[in-house]
Amino acid sequence: MNHSCAEPAALPTLPLPGRVQLFDTTLRDGAQTAGISFSAADKVRIAERLADFGMDWIEGGWPGASPKDTLFFEKMRDRHWSRSRLVAFGSTARPGGDAAADQGLQQLMSSGADAVCLFGKSWDLHVSKALGISLQENLQLVHDSIAVMKRHVETVFFDAEHFFDGYRCNAGYALQVLEAADAAGADALVLCDTNGGSIPFPLFEAVAQVKRRFGTQTIGIHAHNDCEMAVANSVAAVRAGATHVQGTINGLGERCGNTNLISLMAVLKLKVGIDCGVSDEKLSELASLSQFVNEMANRLPWQHQPFVGQNAFAHKGGIHVSAVRKQRDLYEHIDPLRVGNRQRILVSDQAGRSNILSKMQQLEPEAGLSADEPTVAEALKRIKELEAMGYAFEGADASFLLLLRRSMGRFQRHFELVRFRVYDEKRGHHEAPESEATVQVRVAGQLRHAAALGNGPVNAMDRALRAALVDAYPGLEEMFLTDFKVRVLTTKEATEAAVRVLIESSDGANKWNTVGVSTDVLEAAYRALNDAIEYKLVYDGVPAPAE
């Protein structure tokens, strides 16, 4: 039976645009995010990645505002982009001077960029309070700055700063500012929700009014996320006729950020059916593009980020998992592969047999389990027992795989721990502590002993454990820890509380996560380390030694 659903009827409003231009300002507005600082080299790498992706416009920064931005534009003079165009950002001329001689405008002209984006005031309150000039003088500044720039640069965008606040307080003047920019030859009038306080309904009406007033002129939207509506406001603006959208990768930006272009591209293409210059192939790179920018920003990814987050298509409840096993769109609004993501089946105390089967199919498709096998029931029972103790397997796939193998009788230890001892010594108030671990293990009946120093007790234990095993299992030499988290499970017991340790390990090509729980943090760390090593050996196909 065909259960396909028809698309809803189009709203009786303005026709949808045939093509929307994407304007990326990650390197300028995104760089203003608290805690993020891109070097000039970082900016070059991000710009090249955005160009490879095919972004229409890439705003690189404000030449002359900082040595870093000036250096970036110098480095970009030899760019060879097939489609993307570089944009320099700056302000209209300073009040009281000749726009043709304005130093800031001169730096923009000589930046080597393909286009310039000038911002100017469109809220009368900002003109009188922030600039301290008359409303008429501001109109002249906007007009003259754009007119001068157009004589030297082919494409000039005008960012109408604080437009929606200005439109709400004095619509006549806000529109006069746009008229001054339009008369001077601006190639797009970009309406900025600079304070991020707008919501979609009045914003839609304002954009629609501007579109009707300026006809064929390109209207743009630049939304901030202070009400968590930047993407919604941008989509509303497009629905009202905007064909130029500014934003950043992952929604980076000052305060609460900007329009998240990752989400916006997916929504425009997959939900609204609007061409934003992104092919199906490029759309499948959204997750990797998001991850790349996070890496360059030295920023942990938001695991719940729509479309590309690790948990965007994660299923935990047994009923949900049972449903998506039958038909994935019962609980998934799109195929995650379309945006470069994947479905995740989480295993927890809320799991059912469907979770176990789906997870096993992902991790070991050759296992061939069925729902009525005792192994599944045993694994489910054990998972719930362990999670009652504080274990969490939804972020520890490697530990979960080992648990399943044990339930199936398919796991043999590669080594047995005999003992470990960890010393953590601190001498004097200002001296750094010293950590040393000694480990004794048994491999195939043979005792092996090793000691190691480390940057902290867990690092020392990790080094000593692998040192004791590396002769028997040389592949462990390439293994290292990439992340380590400790969570206190209950606060009532204070220092007597159980802790959960999550460890991420890597061998340079793959990453895996393991978990350990105990009232002793070193014991919890050892359990996670043990699983990390066992998983590496299982993954590499190393046979367990005969006893």
Q: What is the pLDDT confidence band of residue 189, given thresholds at 50, 70 and 90?
A: very high
Residue 94 has pLDDT above 80, yes or no: yes
- Tell me the C-alpha distance between 64 and 46, whole Å: 20
- Tell me the C-alpha distance between 235 and 16, whole Å: 11
- Tell me the C-alpha distance between 285 and 150, whole Å: 36
**pLDDT at res. 27:** 98
**pLDDT at res. 5:** 60
Least reliable range by pLDDT among 169-178, 244-253, 343-352, 514-523: 343-352
Residue 11 has pLDDT above 50, yes or no: no
Tell how strand 499-506 and strand 511-518 pair up. antiparallel
**pLDDT at res. 339:** 94
Which tokens in the block code for residue 336? 């995650």
Residue 259 has pLDDT above 80, yes or no: yes
**368-409 per-position pLDDT tens digit:** 656 566 767 777 777 778 777 777 776 678 898 888 888 777
The pTM of the full predicted model, rounded to 2 decimals, is 0.70
Residue 6 has pLDDT above 60, yes or no: no
**pLDDT at res. 348:** 52
- Which structural domains are found in the chain, ordered by start? 21-278 (3.20.20.70), 416-539 (3.30.160.270)
**pLDDT at res. 547:** 61
CB atoms within 10 A of CB 43: 24
Instruction: Tell me the sheet residues that pair with 59.
Output: 87
Q: How open is the CA angle 144-150-154, to the nearest 5 degrees?
A: 165
